[in-house]
Amino acid sequence: ELAKMLKISRTTTLSSYRLLEERGLIQSKMGSGTYVNDSTKPTVDGSMAWDQLFSPQYKSPMASLLRTLIAAPTAEETISLAAGMPDPSFYPLDLIELAFTKRKDDFTRTDYGYIATEGYFPLRQAIAKWQSQFGSQATPDQILIVSGSQQGLYLTVKAFIEQQDYVIVESPTYLGAIQALEAAGARILTLPDSDHLDLELLEDYLIRYRPKLMYTIPTFQNPTGRVMSLDDRQALIELATRYRLVIIEDDPYSLLYYEKPAPPSLKSLDTYGGVIYIGTFSKTLLPGLRTGWVTAAQPVINRLAQEKQHVDLHSNNLAQFILLVCIEENILADHLTKVRSEYKKRRDAMVHALRRYCKETIDFSVPAGGFYIWCKIKHPISVTELMHRAAVSRVAFVPGIAFYTNGTHSNEIRLCFATHNEELLKEGIRRIGQLLMTLSTN
């Protein structure tokens, strides 16, 4: 209101708020508002000059903007299509409990102690066997268990990237990867969003910049939902072999297909040993077990294990045992069959609702798997205005700029169809349709 009276733009106001928050002068309370910190009142933080004590940290210019944008809509009745969260009501907890009871004596007292950093060996064996069904041949020694694929990503970046190293990513791409790369000081080269991999541009990057690695999500990409074709995969491997390019293949979604199975992973096509594959059980089963894995050449696994040792010695043993049981007792395979059909219905419900409520305002293509629909808003909009309106309309999503390294794209949004049932999805999209109509007529 004040900003309006004084004719200050919303962006300026938000930037000032961010600055004040960063300096500790104000504090945002989720779902409540922004409050001035009372400097006369002693706090538990005391009078420590924390900012001077912390080690230097890379601050992404986007990070605080995103925090402001994403943290804003928290009213209780908000329908959130933002997080890439499976539906908790699908978690097969009863089956897991039964199977755990049946198998718990296999997990000995020794297994509750410290174990090898590389992970619980029976799980590494089970993952090797599980992956072989999908054409990827690896020995248990080539598998490192990590605490979620985000940790796999972090360790890999830590092991390879020095300040100023070049890396190649798709644009847009997963926010968590951008953040891990930027925090390590990488210079990011982008391959623009397209139906086909731009091999010419990629080769140009390889010759000109000698990048340390390429990060890609070839199957049901986050956020676009795209699938790299088999031809492109083969051509990429051929090029990577010639230049000895290290590829990080991030693959949380390939088993969540709603039409036909995805093409083989890059790892399964890897003939030169340069692909570092990162898998996870977060989307296929449940994220809270925080368990994923890295499949790569033995020297890479050894180096990542060294890095992991500095972080947490090894991932949680019990979570690893539970996952072993889920694989061996077919809980994972049966669960996948079930959620594929459920998520397909939800995807279709979202598509249907988008066609009904957002026909004039949104362009999108139907993803063949994964969790997301990537939407292009047909008219120019201000992201801050959009997010503000979304908060008022009690619907949440991730603004497209979160998935770019330069923050220039602003007319896209990512919608997750996995978390809510069809009815809520429909209502969420109805709200988005309404708010976009009001934005476009303003």
- The span of 148-156, 185-193, 385-393, 404-412 binding ligand PMP (CB under 6 A) equals 148-156
| Radius of gyration (C-alpha) of the chain in whole angstroms | 23
Residue 150 binds ligand PMP (CB under 6 A): yes
- Nearest-approach distance from CB 216 to ligand PMP, in angstroms: 10
Coil/strand/helix, residue 210: coil
- The span of 143-151, 154-162, 181-189, 319-327 binding ligand PMP (CB under 6 A) equals 143-151
- Nearest-approach distance from CB 273 to ligand PMP, in angstroms: 22
- Nearest-approach distance from CB 442 to ligand PMP, in angstroms: 33
Residue burial 193-224, b: 16+ Cβ < 10 Å; e: rest: beeebeeeebeebbeeeebbbbbbbbbbbbbb
DSSP 369: B
Q: Which of 136, 179, 222, 295 binds ligand PMP (CB under 6 A)?
A: 222
Residue 320 binds ligand PMP (CB under 6 A): no
- Nearest-approach distance from CB 154 to ligand PMP, in angstroms: 9
Nearer to ligand PMP, 381 or 402 (CB): 402
- The span of 12-20, 57-65, 144-152, 385-393 binding ligand PMP (CB under 6 A) equals 144-152
- Nearest-approach distance from CB 67 to ligand PMP, in angstroms: 17
Q: Which of 268, 280, 284, 393 binds ligand PMP (CB under 6 A)?
A: 280
Neighbours of 400 (CB within 10 A): 22
Residue 174 binds ligand PMP (CB under 6 A): yes
Q: How many residues bind ligand PMP (CB under 6 A)?
A: 14
- Nearest-approach distance from CB 416 to ligand PMP, in angstroms: 9
Residue 205 binds ligand PMP (CB under 6 A): no
Instruction: State the Cα–Cα distance between residues 364 and 353, nearest whole angstrom.
Output: 12
What is each CA distance from 184 to 59, 149, 286, 305, in whole angstroms?
11, 17, 29, 18
Nearer to ligand PMP, 343 or 357 (CB): 343
Q: Judging by DSSP bridges, how do beta strands 412-416 and 398-399 pair with one another?
A: antiparallel
- The span of 3-11, 132-140, 240-248, 280-288 binding ligand PMP (CB under 6 A) equals 280-288
Instruction: State the Cα–Cα distance between residues 339 and 435, nearest whole angstrom.
Output: 31
Beta carbons of 195 and 228 less than 8 angstroms apart: no
The site map against ligand PMP for 250-279 (x = CB under 6 A) is: x-x---------------------------
Q: Which of 263, 287, 369, 428 binds ligand PMP (CB under 6 A)?
A: 287
Residue 179 binds ligand PMP (CB under 6 A): no
Q: Which of 74, 95, 176, 385 binds ligand PMP (CB under 6 A)?
A: 176
In the region spanning residues 58 to 117, those forming contacts with ligand PMP, defined by CB under 6 A, are 84
Among 275, 223, 220, residue whose Cα is nearest residue 251: 220
Beta carbons of 399 and 410 less than 8 angstroms apart: yes
Residue 148 binds ligand PMP (CB under 6 A): yes
Instruction: State the Cα–Cα distance between residues 76 and 269, nearest whole angstrom.
Output: 47
Beta carbons of 189 and 205 less than 8 angstroms apart: yes
CB-nearest residue to ligand PMP = 148
- Nearest-approach distance from CB 306 to ligand PMP, in angstroms: 20
Instruction: State the Cα–Cα distance between residues 84 and 400, nearest whole angstrom.
Output: 14
Beta carbons of 225 and 370 less than 8 angstroms apart: yes
Backbone angles phi, psi at 254, to 5 degrees: -60, -25
Backbone angles phi, psi at 311, to 5 degrees: -95, -55
Footprint of ligand PMP (CB under 6 A)? 84, 148-150, 174, 176, 217, 222, 250, 252, 280, 282, 287, 292
